Amino acid sequence: MNPIKVIVAGPRGKMGSEALRMIEKDQSFELVACIDRKNDGVKVKDIEGLPSLDARIYTDAENCLASVEADVLVDLTTPENGYKHTKLAIENKIRPVVGTTGFTEEQLDELSALCKEREIGCVIAPNFAVGAVLMMQFSKWAAKHFPDVEIIEKHHDQKLDAPSGTAIKTAQLIKEEREAHKQGHQDEDETIEGARGAEFDGMRIHSMRLPGLVAHQEVIFGGLGQTLTIKHDSINRESFMSGVKLASERVMDLDVLVYGLEHLLD
């Protein structure tokens, strides 16, 4: 089988450079170009810190997507650029795989209509970590049978926000599946404020921050005589690449826009 020809937008970013390393190691992909703000015409391998790949960098996205023969655009830039690149890619029959949480409903509707019209696949995903996405799907399922649940997420102590975005997203998915109810004893008493964590629709979320941690989450369901725990531990950005790979392969067989990696994980 021929390798899938990929253009990567955002090659010097944390996610983008990781994507290049993934493509470098994986025979089923071939890098054909990059889109970046600088280094027009330079080869990837001549940029410090990037892998030894021959593809050239384009600063003009429109030119790149119109002139380079490619199957897939992997876009790991900003929501603004991502939106422009995605539109251009679809118009040029190149399937976009986009990692972003920033698109508006309107933009998604427009891109979805465009995909349908051109009969071309597109994957837009807020989270490419397959393990994290499965954790959320399992949690959604478990909540049907175990309405009592708490979440504990653990991150390095340089993280600013608590709870994490993944914890809140997980809680939202659980909320859809169960009736809201205050958990714990009805008369429970916090002798130190905050002990019982953040309340979200009656369930509780706890955020731990310590040096030596990376990104971890446990969703714990309790029932009579038993608990069921779903846990995801991520130790580096490599964890996202399995999702980028999966989306890049599956997008080849799609003819619609799919939002969220979970729809590719059946």
Q: Catalytic positions, please?
A: 155, 159
What SS3 state is found at 118?
A: helix
* Residue with smaller CB distance to a copy of itself, 112 or 242: 242
* Residue with smaller CB distance to a copy of itself, 2 or 191: 191
* Residue with smaller CB distance to a copy of itself, 56 or 154: 154
* Residue with smaller CB distance to a copy of itself, 26 or 110: 26
Dig out the tokens for 48 from the structure.
């410090």
**Shortest separation between residue 259's beta carbon and a copy of itself, angstroms:** 19
**Shortest separation between residue 197's beta carbon and a copy of itself, angstroms:** 5
**Shortest separation between residue 254's beta carbon and a copy of itself, angstroms:** 18
DSSP state of 260: S
CA distances from 216 to 167, 195, 220 (A): 10, 20, 13
DSSP state of 77: S
**Shortest separation between residue 163's beta carbon and a copy of itself, angstroms:** 5
CA distances from 191 to 94, 163, 187, 197, 206 (A): 59, 22, 12, 13, 17
CB 252 within 8 A of CB 72: yes
